[in-house]
């Protein structure tokens, strides 16, 4: 008898990986997470989910340049004349 491979919906896969279902759909679209469409739902095999978990990285610290502050234009400045 053939054993069915356990599969997850996008919502279940998101919970397993600690991301949003939207992120799972993005991963499916960009090809980094294989999925099979059955009806209106997409299913991800356990092996593919484990592979994605193994290569999943967390974002590093945000890098900013300068002070991050922008100067605002003074409202009292005269507007530029149209050319």
pTM (2 d.p.): 0.61
How many Cβ atoms from other residues are within 10 Å of residue 44's Cβ?
24
- Specify the residue for token string 């990986």: 17
* Whole-number Å distance between alpha carbons of 12 and 6: 12
Q: Among the listed ranges 13-17, 43-47, 71-75, which one has the minimum average pLDDT value?
A: 71-75
* Record: fold of 7-55: Multidrug-efflux Transporter Regulator; Chain: A; Domain 2 (1.10.1660)
CB 35 within 8 A of CB 67: no
Q: Which of 21, 3, 26 is nearest to 11 (CA)?
A: 21
pLDDT computed for residue 1 by the predictor: 45
Give tens-digit pLDDT for 19-31. Answer: 999 999 999 999 9
The ranges assigned to domains in the chain are 7-55
């Amino acid at each position: 008898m053939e054993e069915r491979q356990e599969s997850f919906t996008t919502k279940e896969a998101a919970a397993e990986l600690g991301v949003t279902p939207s992120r799972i759909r993005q991963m499916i679209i960009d090809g980094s997470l294989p999925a099979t469409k059955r009806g209106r739902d997409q299913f991800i095999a356990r092996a593919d989910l484990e592979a994605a978990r193994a290569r999943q990285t967390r974002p590093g610290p945000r890098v900013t340049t300068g002070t991050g502050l922008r100067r605002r234009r003074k409202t009292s400045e005269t507007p530029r004349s149209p050319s």
